[in-house]
Chains A and B, each alone.
Chain A
Amino acid sequence: MQKAIRIGVLVLVIGFLVTLVIFNAINPASPDKDTWNAKMSKGDKNSATHHFVMYTDIFCPYCDKFSDAVAANLEDFEQHYIKDKKILFEIRVTDVNYVNGHSNNSKPAGISAYCAAREGNFWDYYYALLKKIYNDYHSKGIGVDKTAPRIPDLEKSYFYDFVSEINGLDYDKMKTCIENEETLSELDTNTRKAQSKINGGVPHFVFDKYVADGFAGNWNTNYDYKQVKLLMDAGLASK
């Protein structure tokens, strides 16, 4: 009797795991052609033959590893992938970690990303903010995984006190936009849209027919960039 129960439990657990694997494997890829915010994309939309979308949250460490690696190798990424392979690369910023109660910082970070896009320089702002978060927290082992100490709740000023160093961004306009949460509705709308497309977590990558979740990196931008290239090649091979 005890043996039967054991075998039953084992079969149930293995069945659960197999279902999990199958669910992941058959998860339908549904790349939509349009960009959600044109200023958060790179590449020529008209001539692009590939569409690579990254769903992200600025306070998701796995997303940040990917973006930090790209930022450190931006020239190569833009030349060999965006231009040569005619890729439209789009980042869809969400605050899913705020919505799910994991990080209060995700909301102001998301708002500030849309503010930067509205002011005309999303990309420089995005990479500068990630660098700041890395220097202040991730490089010290804070907020890097589920067992690491959490990043404390940050003041809104954290997200605009450095913008005067970024070309094309006006400090006062960014400050007003972030303090008044002027882009909150766009962030909310895009987060809701994203939640219906991702499996629950970020980073979620949709590259033509290739869909991937998570990013296996270690904060070493050279090591992580090799993983980025594997991901890009997997996406290119899917079409």
Chain B
Amino acid sequence: MAIRKIAETAFDRLKFACASTGLIVKRPKAVLLFLLSLLVFLYFLTFFRDGSSNWQLIWSGLAFDQKLEVMGRIFPAIAENFCSFYGATIILLSLIQALIIVHLAFAWRHRERDAVLNSASTSGVGAIFGFIALGCPSCGIGLLTPLLSAIAGGAAVALAEGLGYVFTALAFVLLIYSFVKLGYTNYVTIQAAKQK
């Protein structure tokens, strides 16, 4: 019974969070912030989607214009995300992150500082898990694998594959939790403002 009640409460809060999102993103500034955040998260998640090869190119001895080329090549790669399930995961992660940023900005403006700090730390951890989970652990290519190989040696790749899925799931859970919590707080703020 208790679990059912928690689930119902969580579902209700999710509905309120979605409702507050609808109200907040009506404002042009919020739309702009949402699009900018979405682009930034999509860019960085795509930058690391195939492991650290782009990062290594940026820190190599390449000429400045070639480094710009490395950074520019991410934009067509962003479009590719729409063609695979893996890419869809990246898009979904970026969407939730961007929505959280919009909610964070709204809550900050309405002096809900505690809610902002709590949600920022939770969504921050979620975002980091999202980055760590990227790559192709089956091939051993991912941000997680090199460190694991230092700890677990040859078993690193097998470990990385399992942990990669765990981190992806954790990233989604933490981000959705932050979104619901912050969205609900903002919903209450909006309703209170209406009553005033």
Residues of A within 8 A of B (CB): 3, 6-7, 9-10, 13-14, 16-17, 19-21, 23-25, 27, 57, 60-63, 96-97, 99-103, 141, 144-148, 195, 198-203, 210-218, 223, 226-227, 230-231, 233-234, 237-238
CB of B84 within 8 A of CB of A141, answer yes
Known: A199-B146, A203-B139, A230-B62. 10 other contacts (CB 8 A): A17-B128, A20-B146, A102-B138, A102-B161, A200-B146, A212-B57, A218-B80, A233-B62, A237-B62, A238-B60
CB of B53 within 8 A of CB of A147, answer no
Tell me the dominant secondary structure on chain B's binding face. helix
CB of B89 within 8 A of CB of A17, answer no
CA distance A211 to B117 in the complex (A): 39
Q: Identify which of residues 117-150 in chain B touch chain A, using a CB-to-CB cut-off of 8 Å.
A: 117-118, 121-122, 124-125, 128-129, 131-132, 135-150
CA distance A9 to B123 in the complex (A): 12
CB of A201 within 8 A of CB of B57, answer no
In the complex, chain B residues whose CB is within 8 Å of the CB of A62: 50-51, 136, 139, 141
Partner of B139, one of A9, A27, A57, A99: A57
Partner of B150, one of A23, A61, A63, A141: A23
CB of B84 within 8 A of CB of A230, answer no
CB of B85 within 8 A of CB of A214, answer no
CB of A199 within 8 A of CB of B145, answer yes
Closest 10 CB pairs of A and B: A201-B140, A214-B51, A237-B61, A200-B149, A234-B60, A214-B141, A214-B53, A199-B146, A200-B156, A216-B50
Partner of A100, one of B55, B61, B140, B142: B140
CB of A213 within 8 A of CB of B52, answer yes
B29 at the interface (CB under 8 A from A): no
* Contact-residue bracket for chain B: 35 or more
Q: How far is the CB of A26 from chain B (nearest CB, A)?
A: 11
CB of B147 within 8 A of CB of A19, answer yes
Q: Identify which of residues 87-143 in chain B touch chain A, using a CB-to-CB cut-off of 8 Å.
A: 89, 117-118, 121-122, 124-125, 128-129, 131-132, 135-143
CA distance A103 to B158 in the complex (A): 12
CB of A61 within 8 A of CB of B125, answer no
B160 at the interface (CB under 8 A from A): yes
B86 at the interface (CB under 8 A from A): yes
In the complex, chain A residues whose CB is within 8 Å of the CB of B125: 9-10, 13
In the complex, chain A residues whose CB is within 8 Å of the CB of B140: 96, 100, 198-202
